[in-house]
Structure 1
Amino acid sequence: MAGIIHGREALVLAVTLWTALFINDFLLLSGGALVLAPGWLSSVLLALLLAQILQRLHGLPRERALGLGVLAVLMVAAGQAAFDVTAIVALGPHLLPGGLGVPGFAIAATFDEAILQFRMSLLWNVATFGFYAAALSLLNAERRKLDAEMRALRYELNPHFLFNTLNSVAGLIEEGSAGRADRMVLSLSRFLQTTLSLDPLHDVPLAEEIALQRDYLEIERERFADRMRFDIRLPDELATALVPNLILQPLIENAVKHGVAASRKPVTIVLEARREGDRMVLTVENDLPEGGGISRKPPGMGVGLRNITDRLQARFANRWRLSSGPTAEGRYRAAIEFPLRQA
């Protein structure tokens, strides 16, 4: 039901919904704020309790989760109805002289009237809490859809480096280069451990993203030995800026695949972060291989760039930009730009 909805989202939805109802009731019952305020507070608290209950139904079979969800709505609605009637009976005569009633009710003078008010309140609260539960479910469905899309995009990242790395480790062991093989395995272990634990919906500080890419570049540098160098330029002021996790991975992989692997001469990869006003700009540059200067986008780069495009669009709507192409200095540059946000 509520699934991956966060408590803050449930709170915002609850406060918004019952505040709107409170304002409506207050306008219909001038001077009844003291009667309505406790009902507003109890409604919000019961809504948060309902959100927690629905959250715990996640993972159950659909039919069972739906049945228990409906039961939970009925229970909190009954609890709110009992509170409403109690407040009306206990506070109404003192705060609303002359027999005035809260919207849809009159001050109950007999047990039968109290029962009637309870039934009316129960129906109203079933509808209201049912709407709240439905809104949570719809919000949850959107979050699940986005989560699935982001995970699919994350796992679309080129995994071939893993196989290449393992082959390189085997080759180093055969050559007797145990030290290089050890370093490669350790870097690969850190890289895989970190990437598998990342939540695709959560941003990370730029320093963490850079550290992860450094591990990846260390792996690739062991593979290509003296043919590859890299330079990372990260200003201290941007170390805590938030970025989508692994957003640089396709750019780094492309620089290795289409720059280092395709060249017979040494290639330098430069990863740079800079601030431009209220925007963050991340660039990855690499030397072009021999004869590669005329190509605007090397073959095979489309998957990585499309992955970044889809993730940035899902995360920032239209507030991002991606550009790539050869430079006048005989290098290839890819740059992504999006709003700067600090942790």
Structure 2
Amino acid sequence: MQRIFEDRNRQFWILHTLGWMGFAVVGYLGSLFQEMREAYLFVVALDAYAGWLLSIPLRYLFQRIWSWSPWQMILSIMLVAFIVACVWTVIKNFNYWEIYRHGYRPDEWIQYFKQTSVGFYVILSWSGLYFGIRYYQTLQQEKQKSLTASNKAHEAQLKMLRYQLNPHFLFNTLNAISTLVLINEADTANKMLSRLSDFLRYSLYKDPIKKVPLQQEIYAANLYLEIEKVRFTERLTIELDVATNTELALVPSLILQPLVENAIKYAVATQTAGGTISIKARKFGHDLLIEVADNGPGMPIDDGLPKDSGGVGLVNTRERLAALYDKDFSLVLTHNQPQGVKVNIRIPFEVELNDEELA
């Protein structure tokens, strides 16, 4: 049924025909209260058929005046509806007198136009329905275009926000690989390059619009941290505490990477002794709770975000979450105990349904 009505031309003919069939049914049912003979059914059918034929040219005329000013359109519709109503009334009276009254002829020709006002209201109603349906279709098309444009802009924004996060990390990693080559640490450089390749492959092939299971994000975060561990060696400690029932929970792709990158930048790289980065995930009711914490020197926090101009990754992450979940999320930056910073994310707990569950 939906496919049938997707074609506007087919939609017109269906509605046009059903409308005039409805007119014939109503006309015949009304005659039952007036004790009309069965021959009146044939008269009503001819009247409806005549109306069906006469109103077809109105469609093409109205298409031509569609772009006219409102007053020009109204006057044109009224005039055309009156002319068509006059012709239709003459045909209806002729059918009634010839078939039902067995060849009756009125004394005055003006009698052929008797009840023109009724025909005028019917044709005017047809015209009103035509314009109403067409305005609705145009409005829906514009709405669809607006939604499509909004979605395209939305996708572009998400992609831009995600790809803003990687250059700093890539620059540092390539520098580290270059240093390892210079000091003849070929095996370590090769391992680091291999992990970088895997991480970039994951980063490039995961659509930022789509969500992925948390276990894939943990895998990507591990790739990133293993690369950084080559740079910082024993100065970087990693702790993972991910509940088993959260591994299949859907999260935005690479949502952990900017949080881990910030922890590396502000907690590990700034301390001679290095630091610890922990990632936790829990299910709480209908929500998924993710925490990324460090034991670094900390930073001033204002309204859940860094006070200074840093923390671009956090701002971008919040914007991505807002674009994907509207207001049904939270991202809060707080002080860790005894020291450091932790980022808490709350998003709806979602899992990907398999074919059996969908069925």
> Normalising by the residue count of structure 2, what TM-score does the alignment of the two structures yield?
0.65
Alpha-carbon distance in structure 2 between the residues aligned to 1:192 and 1:258: 23
Alignment match of 1:98 (pick from 25, 29, 35): 29
1:223 corresponds to 2:223: no
Partner of 1:181: 189
User: What code does the residue aligned with 1:113 have?
Assistant: G
Partner of 1:80: 11
For the 8 Å contact 2:259–2:292, the answer to whether it is kept is yes
User: What code does the residue aligned with 2:341 have?
Assistant: Y
Alpha-carbon distance in structure 2 between the residues aligned to 1:246 and 1:293: 24
Alignment match of 2:321 (pick from 312, 330, 334): 312
Alpha-carbon distance in structure 2 between the residues aligned to 1:265 and 1:80: 74
Alpha-carbon distance in structure 2 between the residues aligned to 1:174 and 1:200: 36
How far residue 97 of structure 1 moved from its aligned partner, in angstroms, is 4.7
What is the DSSP-based 3-state SS (H/G/I as helix, E as strand, rest coil) of the residue aligned with 1:98? Answer: helix
Alignment match of 2:174 (pick from 141, 149, 166): 166
Q: How does 1:1-343 map to 2 (within 5 A)?
A: 41=1, 44-46=2-4, 49=6, 76-87=7-18, 97-98=28-29, 109=47, 112-118=50-56, 119=59, 125-288=133-296, 292=297, 296=301, 297=306, 301-343=310-352
Alpha-carbon distance in structure 1 between the residues aligned to 2:161 and 2:231: 26
For the 8 Å contact 2:180–2:188, the answer to whether it is kept is yes
| Unaligned residue ranges in structure 2 (runs of 5+) | 32-43, 60-126, 353-359
The percentage of counterpart residues that share the same residue type is: 30
Q: 1:99 to 1:224 in 2, by over 3 A?
A: farther
Q: 1:182 to 1:310 in 2, by over 3 A?
A: same
Alpha-carbon displacement from aligned partner over 1:281-308 (angstroms, at most 9, x marks no partner): 11112221xxx25755596643122112
Once structures 1 and 2 are overlaid, which stretch shifts more, 160-169 or 221-230? 221-230
How far residue 107 of structure 1 moved from its aligned partner, in angstroms, is 6.2
Q: 1:302 to 1:122 in 2, by over 3 A?
A: same
Q: 1:125 to 1:285 in 2, by over 3 A?
A: same
How far residue 108 of structure 1 moved from its aligned partner, in angstroms, is 6.3
Partner of 2:120: none
User: What code does the residue aligned with 1:336 have?
Assistant: I
User: What code does the residue aligned with 1:153 have?
Assistant: L
User: What code does the residue aligned with 1:115 have?
Assistant: L
Alpha-carbon displacement from aligned partner over 1:17-74 (angstroms, at most 9, x marks no partner): xxxxxxxxxxxxxxxxxxxxxxxx3xx3245x5xxxxxxxxxxxxxxxxxxxxxxxxx
Structure number with larger C-alpha Rg: 2
Alpha-carbon distance in structure 2 between the residues aligned to 1:295 and 1:264: 21
Q: 1:136 to 1:298 in 2, by over 3 A?
A: closer
| Unaligned residue ranges in structure 1 (runs of 5+) | 1-40, 50-75, 101-105
Count of residue pairs brought into register by the alignment: 266
Alpha-carbon distance in structure 2 between the residues aligned to 1:230 and 1:193: 23
Alpha-carbon displacement from aligned partner over 1:69-93 (angstroms, at most 9, x marks no partner): xxxxxxx322211223444567886
Alpha-carbon distance in structure 2 between the residues aligned to 1:84 and 1:317: 40
User: What code does the residue aligned with 2:284 have?
Assistant: E
For the 8 Å contact 2:23–2:48, the answer to whether it is kept is no
Alpha-carbon distance in structure 1 between the residues aligned to 2:341 and 2:275: 11
How far residue 208 of structure 1 moved from its aligned partner, in angstroms, is 1.4
Q: 1:163 to 1:97 in 2, by over 3 A?
A: same
For the 8 Å contact 1:187–1:215, the answer to whether it is kept is yes
Q: 1:225 to 1:316 in 2, by over 3 A?
A: same
For the 8 Å contact 1:80–1:125, the answer to whether it is kept is no
For the 8 Å contact 1:88–1:107, the answer to whether it is kept is no
For the 8 Å contact 2:158–2:320, the answer to whether it is kept is yes
Q: 1:253 to 1:86 in 2, by over 3 A?
A: same
